Amino acid sequence: QVQLVESGGGLVQAGGSLRLSCTASGLTFAGAAMGWFRQAPGKEREFVAAITRNSIYYGDSVKGRFTISRDNAKNTVYLQMNSLKPEDTAVYYCAAGVTGMPLRIGDWDSWGQGTQVTVSS
């Protein structure tokens, strides 16, 4: 029932920027925790950022470069990515936690299809 639709991925040069969007339906968006994760080939899925009603969290590898935000009127969460590095290359996934901020990756309730971000050197 919950659907998360991502957009905004693409190919950029190192040092460039992208903004990812994730639009949600089938849930009470304003009360949900929303998160971004990424997975590079051969690697585990990695936490990137999350936003709840009152708090924001970032993974250490993206602090100072990425910004998560949400527009509850549009049921959309964003990830602004600046100063991109080749090691940021991955499939980026949007996730929703309907009852609050999950502590484990497996506890997030719904996932988007993923969008590819490729950063060239």
Residue 15: the pLDDT is 98
**CA-CA distance, 49 to 38, in Å (whole number)?**
10
Residue 58: the pLDDT is 98
**CA-CA distance, 49 to 19, in Å (whole number)?**
13
Residue 119: the pLDDT is 98
Residue 26: the pLDDT is 94
Residue 13: the pLDDT is 98
Residue 100: the pLDDT is 84
User: What residues of the chain score a pLDDT lower than 70?
Assistant: none
Residue 74: the pLDDT is 97
Q: Which residue has the tokens 């969008």?
A: 115
In 3-state terms, the chain is what percent helix, strand and coil (to 5)? 10, 50, 40
